[in-house]
Amino acid sequence: MDEKFQIKLINGKECIFDIQRKKFVFLTPEEWVRQYFLHFIIYDKKYPASMIAVEKQLTIGSLVKRFDILIYKQANPWMLVECKSEQIDINSQTLSQILAYNTGLKVQYLTITNGKCVYCFDTEKRCWRDELPNY
């Protein structure tokens, strides 16, 4: 990774600089996974930072939720990423969550990570991928 993580104490709490939101955010276990994944897709996979949204509101029926990462391609939602802390196992509940988030988005790729594992599902081909697609 080209870019180093910026971590500092703010009001006695550890914070990490979010390269997308351009601000320091509290460093929770889930936030660590989100920031690591952002660095990976931007610096290693070369996904354009200008096409990535982080922690934005999403309305599902009458519920308002927040997705972790949404990547756009040609102005359309392309990949939805759900981040969990390393202590959380990826299971059917995690899959149900990202599927619910995708009901209105209709992305091609659903990606789930807990920092230890990354799972990517191609919704068009209806199969799991061995690695993230190239942008």
On whether the 7-129 domain is CATH 3.90.1570, my answer is yes
> pTM for the complete prediction?
0.92
Single-letter amino acid code for the residue at 65: K
pLDDT band with cut points at 50, 70 and 90 for residue 65? confident
Average pLDDT on 65-71 reads: 93
Please write the tens of the pLDDT for every residue from 91-127. Answer: 999 999 999 999 889 999 999 999 999 999 999 999 9
* d(C-alpha 2, C-alpha 103), whole Å: 35
Single-letter amino acid code for the residue at 22: K
pLDDT band with cut points at 50, 70 and 90 for residue 1? very low
- In which element (H, E) is residue 119 found? strand 118-122
Going by C-alpha positions, the residue among 52, 56, 60, 53 that lies closest to residue 97 is 60
